[in-house]
Chains A and B, each alone.
Chain A
Amino acid sequence: MALKIVKGSIDRMFDKNLQDLVRGIRNHKDDEAKYISTCIDEIKQELKQDNIAVKANAVCKLTYLQMLGYDVSWAAFNIVEVMSSSKFTYKRIGYLAASQCFHEGTDVIMLTTNQIRKDLSSPNQYDTGVALTGLSCFVTPDLARDLANDIMTLMSHTKPYIRKKAVLIMYKVFLKYPESLRPAFPRLKEKLEDPDPGVQSAAVNVICELARRNPKNYLSLAPLFFKLMTSSTNNWVLIKIIKLFGALTPLEPRLGKKLIEPLTNLIHSTSAMSLLYECVNTVIAVLISLSSGMPNHSASIQLCVQKLRILIEDSDQNLKYLGLLAMSKILKTHPKSVQSHKDLILQCLDDKDESIRLRALDLLYGMVSKKNLMEIVKKLMLHVDKAEGTTYRDELLTKIIDICSQSNFQYITNFEWYISILVELTRLEGTRHGHLIASQMLDVAIRVKAIRGFAVAQMATLLDNAHLLTGNTQRNGICEVLYAAAWICGEFSEHLEDPMQTLEAMLRPKVATLPGHIQAVYVQNAAKLFATVLRKHDGETESQAAQETSQLLIDRLPLFVQSANLEVQERASCILQLVKYIQKLQQKNVEVAEEVTALFAGELNPVAPKAQKKVPIPEGLDLDAWINEPPSESESEDEKPKAVFAKEEPKHSRSRHTEVDEKELARRREVRKQEQANNPFYIKASPSSQKVYDAPGVEHIPVVQIDLSVPLKVPGMPMSDQYLKLEVERRQKEKAERKKKEKKKKREKRGKERKADSGPESEEDITPAHQVDIVTEEMPENALPSDDDDKDPNDPHKALDIDLDKPLADSEKLPVRTHRPEALKSPAEDRDSESVPQETKKKSGKEKKKDKEKDRKRSKEEKKKKKKHKEVEEELLESQPEEAVQSEETKEAAAPPTSTSAEQEVCVLMCVCLQEVTAPSSAAAAVDTSSAAAPESEPDEPKDTEPEDTKSSKHKKKKQKKEKEEKEKKKKKRHHHHHQHHSDAGGEDSVQNGTVEEEEPLPVSQSHSVSLKQEVKVYDIQGNHQDESKVVVSVIFENKSDSFLKSMEFNVLDSLNSKLQRPEGAGAHDSLTVPFQLPPGVSNEARFVFSVQSIIMPQKLKGTLTFIVKSDESSTHEKLDFKLHFTCTSYLITTPCYSDAYAKLLESGDLKGSSLRLEGINMPFHHLLARICFHHHFSVVERIDSCASMYSRSIQGHHVCLLVKTSDQTVSIDAKCDEPSLLGNVLDEIKQTFSKC
């Protein structure tokens, strides 16, 4: 061993550490990648070594390389190894690496559960802290579920350092495991009033984060936050709370009224700009929520705006930015107050800082009115021309469109102007927002009937000049506007002056370079135009024009028939055939215009975006139900390929088509085969066009590149500027006219003109230039009203929308560690049903009033009882655990004789669980507690670790129950709990070799009547061995009485071997103060450190808890005795061991042997092993059939090896250990475990 260490340290001297690595990388600037790859090879070698120091060093280097962008996930397992080192130094390195590169998809994460749990309960606060920090970065739903309870316990840790971290991480746990929110919330709420400011701040942080997403659930906390706000001096906390109030006030206006005063005070008193700014922000939110037109409030708004103006005018760019940001909040509800600062905001548009410009843009959105829209947009258009960088330019473009289109084009008085703005925008180079412009064009043309003529003319021009837009197709999305242009020209072709020319423009060969979906629209709308042309020439016999049109189509369409795009091809071939047929009819002088027009008759109305969603589902419609009997699986498999075949080979459906289609098909097949666009075997259909465009593919087409960086003036297009001038003139004219006319008359007229004129009063004077009829969107009849359409279903916070004010139900508990979920299931279910009558029974015996309170208590208890699952698990491992419980009474007689000696003992054993830091196991000891009134403690309760024990103790109690009617109720309750655990366990599936404890109500004094119960429940004692001689026992105190318990003092009578660790300077017999008080029904946990010298013998310690019971009228001093029982098993730590190391250990000959025979063991072998593992902290090294080797280690490093064999009902255990008396005691304890089943 020593040699190994020496060797390791020598190795280490030659290893590179992080600094060497960094230095090396800096020295290899030219061939960095190569150098790093050799380093990674070295790291791989280092990771293979056993020495943990070397491994940790390697992992540390990997963390650095991860920062440089190297994937280090291959070392995930090594990272886990380093995480589980017992040394803080290495552990920290491991957790850091894990937090940098683990994520939900990392599979080794599931190996870490126990390690993390162990670290969380480590007596060293920094181990716990490091584990919490790491976990906060890579917590998964599984980890959250399995560890939620442990973390919740840490929220009451004695160290504020741990408390604040535990509180913060709960938020992550909630996100991943929303079920934990309700059970954990009461404790989280308590932490808002934690004495430590850091913990308090963490709790505020978490609740603010939660409340931000679902504010309504947290309204009830408002008074508490209000108190905090007026008392706290921590700016961070204040900022968070004030921000939270900003989110809450819209839901509760009364809150707002109360807030104004303290907030104003803060504004005056604070020197911190951040706090001041948030105060102003929240005041704004309050004023917004309050001001329903009340004049004095609008005055306050003005005041706020004035203050913000000062911020905006400040030379500090940060304040300017924030001023604009806050301004935009006011804008939403009080646009008028902001509008007066238009000058300032337009000025900000010229700022050199892009962040500020963007904010100013945001503000402009709300500042427009009918009056200033044109002016503002003109200014923006200027910026568009000047803007550098496409991002900002695109931002401008979307803002222009947003501004113009807001609230149903409310502010647009002249749609011709708007159309020309849109057309101008199409000249933007390289914008990504072509589709936005296109959808605006479509929207306006469809919904504003009066504008169609103008729009069509503009679109025709656009189509005619399409080459300007498509000059460089590959780098812009602007050609999307052609989609809109083509559609508008086709759909409203009756407005076209020269449809023939437009038709020609749409069928130009160059169109074939456009994206497929645009070509498809082109083809379809060419047909519409064709119909229009025919109609125009209707009645003219032997119309030359009509015939020419047909010919044009027949000439040009084949180009599209050959398109690789299915949609284009299909439409083109359809229309081509149609036109050919029409041509034939034309040649016979048949009147066709009527019929062709009928093809495209009817009008499309705009449909509201959410219309489809809002159609109510008809009654009785079940879309999931089978219409016919579901086909058998084999059938469906047969059918599937058929369907695919039909799709791929459209031959059948097309057999009636003409030659052209056949060729096209042939061509496509060839294309597919060769995966090449140019195919020498290609057969032409229409020679004219195909030569140039088809075979070689798009990239061979000579494209004229036009530099559009200078805005071009497209011939024949009106500039939007002209409209501005016109508009001003028009308005002046109107004003003059209006003076002559009567006001009333005009108002009537306006009412007719516009459907929805909700503009501000001052603008009523402006009449739109066009008599515009905005068609509203259609909604289905009896549409369902709903506001929540906008919520993102994937938002993780949606799951956290949980009512927190409802009292906790029994079923709401955090999962507790258990073993083997499969084994648990069926019994658990049974128990579930069993527990129901139990509950009713209990309830019937009590007054309703108390009932409620009990429920609350019980739910709390249950939370804490999670840890009891060990016990549950153990019982469930038995083949018929259910019977075991049911037949309690009968079993009682057979219970070990020890129980009979107990007389009036009301109380109770607890199982103590001692967890070792370095291994994922826990050792168990037991605690006996006895009440002050019945001081006689049970003599020699044998190894209480096992659940059986607790059971037997229960039996004992059952007996007492007979004797003491007075206590019956309590016992029932306990009994009930017992069942509850089982049902609990059924729902959980995590595995833990953890803690067992039994809880019992402890009447403090017998004189107390049942109605005034003074119970202190001491259960869940959990401990940790930090080093060889230290043990940490955690005790949960629960106040089951109706009175307040305070000044609790915990004391244990030290033995020579074990001593309670007291703070320096304290006497050997001084009590330790429990650092909390217990209100009725509340429980809390405290931890105590013991030093232990020898671990080879089990031992018991007597202890006392003194406390003051405070009721309304009096307060009394009470005392509670208990016993802590450390078994030898409790000093063992589950330590994994590899079989070769195990073999070496046995060969070494240092170990002394002993053996044990157990008769009449009637359980499956794996259950037996599980029991040993679970209760005695062994791990299975190897198992062959009915023989298994097991290993464990004591906290002082004793090796314990077991060879377990079974045949029939006999189990023989051969054991070896380097400490014979320890081994003897452990074997005794094992025997005890099995003697009870």
Chain B
Amino acid sequence: MIKAILIFNNHGKPRLIRFYQYFAEDMQQQIIRETFHLVSKRDDNVCNFLEGGSLIGGSDYKLIYRHYATLYFVFCVDSSESELGILDLIQVFVETLDKCFENVCELDLIFHMDKVHYILQEVVMGGMVLETNMNEIVAQVELQNRMEKSEVQVWASI
């Protein structure tokens, strides 16, 4: 199970947070800060696994993260997930973002947090991996966007 997915930038500013277990807002912020603190002080050439922070999870949980340019993608998972598998999943997710936004950069995430959520929803659902096939994810996202567009057009034509 995935307990949380956090995306923040090199300064710890959250760009997307997705908790699959309830935490109050202030606790969420604390977790983000702690996670950022743990992750940001690591060099880029150390391993991508981190035994979880004290706030989220506990001994069974691990932070698995990847650092892309200005953004950290952090998944907090328990022992039922394969570590290398989750690393691949992050890669799939980022590549999907790249396809959907065409050369994704931090600004896309900043201004389209909702869209990033919708894409993530096609990858992970309720803390479990839903789909790992990038083409399928992109297809579903596009179909939904098309539906949204058609609704907007209907609305505009009124």
Interface residues of A (CB under 8 A from B): 2, 5, 18-19, 22-23, 26, 53, 60, 63-64, 66-71, 87-89, 92-93, 96, 100, 103-104, 124, 126, 132-133, 136-137, 139, 161, 164-165, 168-169, 171-172, 198, 201-202, 205-206, 208-209, 212, 234-236, 239, 243, 273-274, 277-278, 317-318, 320-322, 325, 352-356, 358
Asked if A164 and B130 sit within 8 Å, CB to CB, the answer is yes
Contacts of A104 in B (CB 8 A): 22
From residue B17, how far is it (CB to closest CB) to chain A in Å?
A: 5
Asked if A277 and B47 sit within 8 Å, CB to CB, the answer is no
Contacts of A201 in B (CB 8 A): 129, 132
Main secondary structure of the interface of B (DSSP, over half): mixed
Contacts of A198 in B (CB 8 A): 130-131, 133, 136
Asked if A69 and B126 sit within 8 Å, CB to CB, the answer is no
From residue A713, how far is it (CB to closest CB) to chain B in Å?
A: 33
B94 on the A face (CB < 8 A): no
With A63-B113, A67-B14, A274-B85 as given contacts, are A205 and B128 in contact (CB-CB < 8 Å)? yes
From residue A139, how far is it (CB to closest CB) to chain B in Å?
A: 8
Contact of A133 among B45, B110, B121 (CB under 8 A): B121
Closest to A134 in B: B121
Contacts of A136 in B (CB 8 A): 125-127
Q: How many angstroms between the C-alpha atoms of A64 and B51 in the bound complex?
A: 29
Asked if A69 and B80 sit within 8 Å, CB to CB, the answer is no
Asked if A93 and B47 sit within 8 Å, CB to CB, the answer is no
Asked if A277 and B28 sit within 8 Å, CB to CB, the answer is no
**In the A-B complex, the 10 residue pairs with the closest CB atoms:** A136-B126, A274-B84, A317-B47, A103-B22, A353-B46, A69-B29, A321-B47, A89-B148, A318-B47, A239-B82
Q: How many angstroms between the C-alpha atoms of A236 and B84 in the bound complex?
A: 11
Q: What interface size band does chain B fall in? A: 35 or more
Contacts of A205 in B (CB 8 A): 128-129
Asked if B144 and A126 sit within 8 Å, CB to CB, the answer is yes
Asked if A18 and B113 sit within 8 Å, CB to CB, the answer is yes
CB-defined A-B contacts under 8 Å, sample of 28 = A63-B114, A63-B117, A64-B113, A67-B16, A71-B25, A87-B151, A89-B147, A89-B148, A89-B151, A92-B144, A93-B114, A96-B118, A100-B18, A126-B143, A133-B126, A137-B20, A164-B131, A198-B131, A205-B129, A209-B80, A209-B128, A236-B132, A274-B88, A317-B46, A322-B84, A325-B83, A352-B43, A358-B51
With A69-B26, A89-B152 as given contacts, are A171 and B125 in contact (CB-CB < 8 Å)? no
Q: How many angstroms between the C-alpha atoms of A19 and B115 in the bound complex?
A: 12
Q: How many angstroms between the C-alpha atoms of A126 and B148 in the bound complex?
A: 11
Closest to A278 in B: B82
B138 on the A face (CB < 8 A): no
Interface residues of B in 36-87 (CB under 8 A from A): 42-43, 45-51, 80, 82-85, 87
Contacts of A133 in B (CB 8 A): 121, 125-126
6 more CB-based (< 8 A) A-B contacts, given A19-B111, A243-B80: A64-B114, A67-B14, A136-B125, A168-B130, A318-B84, A355-B46
Contacts of B51 in A (CB 8 A): 355, 358
Asked if B125 and A69 sit within 8 Å, CB to CB, the answer is no
Interface residues of B in 104-127 (CB under 8 A from A): 110-114, 117-118, 121, 125-127
Q: How many angstroms between the C-alpha atoms of A1010 and B140 in the bound complex?
A: 49
Asked if A18 and B147 sit within 8 Å, CB to CB, the answer is no
Closest to B30 in A: A69
B1 on the A face (CB < 8 A): yes
Q: How many angstroms between the C-alpha atoms of A16 and B80 in the bound complex?
A: 43
Asked if A88 and B147 sit within 8 Å, CB to CB, the answer is yes
Asked if A69 and B46 sit within 8 Å, CB to CB, the answer is no
Contacts of A89 in B (CB 8 A): 147-148, 151-152
With A63-B113, A66-B25, A274-B85 as given contacts, are A92 and B47 in contact (CB-CB < 8 Å)? no
Asked if A171 and B80 sit within 8 Å, CB to CB, the answer is no
From residue A225, how far is it (CB to closest CB) to chain B in Å?
A: 15
Contacts of B47 in A (CB 8 A): 317-318, 320-321, 353, 355-356
Closest to B148 in A: A89
Contacts of A60 in B (CB 8 A): 114
Closest to A281 in B: B82
Closest to B54 in A: A391
Closest to A317 in B: B47
From residue B40, how far is it (CB to closest CB) to chain A in Å?
A: 13
Q: How many angstroms between the C-alpha atoms of A164 and B147 in the bound complex?
A: 21
Contact of A126 among B25, B45, B147 (CB under 8 A): B147
Closest to A205 in B: B128
Q: How many angstroms between the C-alpha atoms of A92 and B128 in the bound complex?
A: 20
Interface residues of B in 1-45 (CB under 8 A from A): 1, 14, 16-18, 20, 22, 24-26, 28-29, 42-43, 45
Asked if B126 and A169 sit within 8 Å, CB to CB, the answer is yes
Q: How many angstroms between the C-alpha atoms of A537 and B2 in the bound complex?
A: 69
Asked if B42 and A88 sit within 8 Å, CB to CB, the answer is no
Contact of A355 among B50, B80, B131 (CB under 8 A): B50
Closest to A247 in B: B80
Q: How many angstroms between the C-alpha atoms of A617 and B117 in the bound complex?
A: 55
Contacts of B48 in A (CB 8 A): 317-318
Asked if B87 and A318 sit within 8 Å, CB to CB, the answer is yes
Contacts of B155 in A (CB 8 A): 53, 87
Closest to B117 in A: A96
A66, A92, A208: most-surrounded residue (chain B CB, <10 A):
A92
Contacts of A161 in B (CB 8 A): 140
With A133-B121, A352-B46, A356-B47 as given contacts, are A322 and B83 in contact (CB-CB < 8 Å)? yes
Contacts of A171 in B (CB 8 A): 126, 128
Closest to B147 in A: A88
Q: How many angstroms between the C-alpha atoms of A74 and B137 in the bound complex?
A: 34
Contacts of B1 in A (CB 8 A): 209
Asked if B125 and A165 sit within 8 Å, CB to CB, the answer is yes
Contacts of B46 in A (CB 8 A): 317, 352-353, 355-356
From residue B56, how far is it (CB to closest CB) to chain A in Å?
A: 15
Q: How many angstroms between the C-alpha atoms of A239 and B81 in the bound complex?
A: 9
Contact of B85 among A2, A139, A209, A239 (CB under 8 A): A239
Closest to B23 in A: A103
Q: How many angstroms between the C-alpha atoms of A325 and B152 in the bound complex?
A: 52
Contacts of B85 in A (CB 8 A): 235-236, 239, 274, 278
Contacts of A236 in B (CB 8 A): 85, 129, 132
Closest to B155 in A: A53
Q: How many angstroms between the C-alpha atoms of A1062 and B118 in the bound complex?
A: 31
Asked if A88 and B148 sit within 8 Å, CB to CB, the answer is yes
From residue A366, how far is it (CB to closest CB) to chain B in Å?
A: 17
Contacts of B125 in A (CB 8 A): 132-133, 136, 165, 168-169
Contact of B82 among A26, A66, A93, A274 (CB under 8 A): A274
A18, A236, A352: most-surrounded residue (chain B CB, <10 A):
A236
Asked if B42 and A353 sit within 8 Å, CB to CB, the answer is yes
Contacts of A126 in B (CB 8 A): 143-144, 147
From residue B10, how far is it (CB to closest CB) to chain A in Å?
A: 16
Q: How many angstroms between the C-alpha atoms of A22 and B113 in the bound complex?
A: 10
Contacts of A2 in B (CB 8 A): 158
Contacts of B128 in A (CB 8 A): 168, 171, 202, 205-206, 209
Q: How many angstroms between the C-alpha atoms of A1215 and B42 in the bound complex?
A: 73
Contacts of B88 in A (CB 8 A): 274
Q: How many angstroms between the C-alpha atoms of A1013 and B112 in the bound complex?
A: 59
Q: How many angstroms between the C-alpha atoms of A236 and B151 in the bound complex?
A: 36
B20, B46, B143, B155: most-surrounded residue (chain A CB, <10 A):
B46
Contacts of B45 in A (CB 8 A): 317
Contacts of A212 in B (CB 8 A): 80
Contacts of B112 in A (CB 8 A): 18-19
Closest to A325 in B: B83
Q: How many angstroms between the C-alpha atoms of A356 and B49 in the bound complex?
A: 9
Q: How many angstroms between the C-alpha atoms of A1208 and B7 in the bound complex?
A: 68
Q: How many angstroms between the C-alpha atoms of A60 and B148 in the bound complex?
A: 15
Asked if A22 and B49 sit within 8 Å, CB to CB, the answer is no
Q: How many angstroms between the C-alpha atoms of A318 and B44 in the bound complex?
A: 12
Q: How many angstroms between the C-alpha atoms of A236 and B114 in the bound complex?
A: 27
Contacts of B87 in A (CB 8 A): 274, 318
Contacts of B84 in A (CB 8 A): 273-274, 277, 318, 322
